[in-house]
Amino acid sequence: VLYAARRCGVGAVYKAGGAQAVAAMAYGTESIPKVDKIFGPGNRYVTAAKQMVSGRNTSIDMPAGPSEVMVMADRSALPSFVAADMLPQAEHGRDSQAMVVCDDRAFAEAVAAEVQRQAAMLSREDFVTDSLSPSRIIVFDGREQMVDFANMYAAEHLIVMMRDAWSVVDRITGSVFVGAYSPESAGDYASGTNHTLPTSGWAHSCSGVNIDSFMRKMTIQELSREGLAALAPTIIAMADAEGLQAHAEAVKVRMNETVK
pLDDT digits (tens, 9 = 90+) for 28-60: 999 999 999 999 888 889 989 998 998 777 888
If you average pLDDT over every residue of the chain, what do you get?
89
**pTM recorded for the entire structure:** 0.76
pLDDT given at position 137: 95
More confident residue, 93 or 152: 152
Residue 171 gets the label, from left (phi > 0), alpha (psi -120 to 50) or beta, of alpha
Annotated catalytic, 195? Answer: no
pLDDT given at position 124: 80
Give me the catalytic one of 91, 156, 184, 195: 156
Q: What percent of the chain has pLDDT over 70?
A: 100
Average pLDDT of the segment spanning 100-120: 94
Q: Which of 162, 141, 142, 207 is nearest to 70 (CA)?
A: 162
Q: What distance in Å separates the CA atoms of residue 14 and residue 95, rounded to the nearest whole number? A: 27
Give me the catalytic one of 91, 92, 157, 195: 157
pLDDT given at position 74: 94
Q: What distance in Å separates the CA atoms of residue 140 and residue 164, rounded to the nearest whole number? A: 18
pLDDT given at position 125: 78
Annotated catalytic, 184? Answer: no
Bond into 66 cis (ω within 30)? yes
Q: What kind and span of H or E run contains 137?
A: strand 136-139
Compute the half-sphere exposure of residue 30: CA atoms within 13 Å on the CB side of its CA. 0
Q: From residue 50, give the alpha-carbon distance in Å to each of 34, 125, 252.
A: 14, 29, 45
Q: What kind and span of H or E run contains 38?
A: strand 37-38
